[in-house]
């Protein structure tokens, strides 16, 4: 498939795909005229890159882990990196879960202070944002 189709199907920009190529994350085939061509599997690979980036992994880390994605085999160094990233993400999830619970407590307390007829805090926010 062409770069525009891949971008659309993977939910990224063409610019992002070119960046991935510059970083050595993608290596598309080229037609004789130089157009990039991607396989069907590339859609899921690009989505995985997006997940890794959203989780805070750098291009360098993703490039180092790419062989794991491509062939399912890992070196001791890659396994160590995978565990380190997993532990970092688990700590972030724990921190975010704690924050979510705290926000829930604040919302509940605010709703109770507002009295029985008070609108829930979420609706208050929606009307505030709209004005």
- With cut-offs at 50, 70 and 90, classify the pLDDT of residue 119: low
pLDDT at 129: 52
pLDDT at 122: 54
Residue 6: is it exposed, middle or buried by C-beta count within 10 angstroms (0-12/13-18/19+)? Answer: buried
Higher pLDDT, 6 or 73: 6
pLDDT at 32: 94
d(CA 92, CA 56): 10
> What pTM was estimated for this model as a whole?
0.69
Mean pLDDT score of the chain: 87
Model confidence pLDDT, tens digit, residues 33-92:
999 999 999 999 999 999 999 988 888 889 888 888 778 888 898 889 889 989 999 999
Q: Is 24 left (phi over 0), alpha (psi -120 to 50) or beta?
A: left
Q: Which two tokens stand for residue 52?
A: 């890794």
């Amino acid at each position: 498939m062409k770069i525009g189709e891949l971008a659309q199907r993977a939910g990224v920009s063409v610019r992002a795909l070119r960046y991935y190529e510059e970083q050595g994350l993608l290596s598309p085939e080229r037609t004789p005229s130089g157009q990039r061509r991607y396989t069907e599997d590339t859609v899921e690979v690009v989505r995985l890159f997006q997940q890794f980036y959203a989780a805070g992994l750098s291009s360098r880390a993703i490039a180092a882990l790419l062989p794991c994605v491509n062939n399912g085999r890992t070196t001791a160094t890659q396994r160590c990196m995978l565990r380190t990233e997993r532990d970092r993400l688990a700590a972030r999830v724990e921190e975010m879960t704690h924050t979510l619970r705290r926000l829930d407590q604040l919302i509940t307390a605010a709703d109770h202070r507002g009295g029985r007829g008070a609108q829930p805090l979420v609706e208050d926010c929606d009307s505030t944002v709209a004005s």
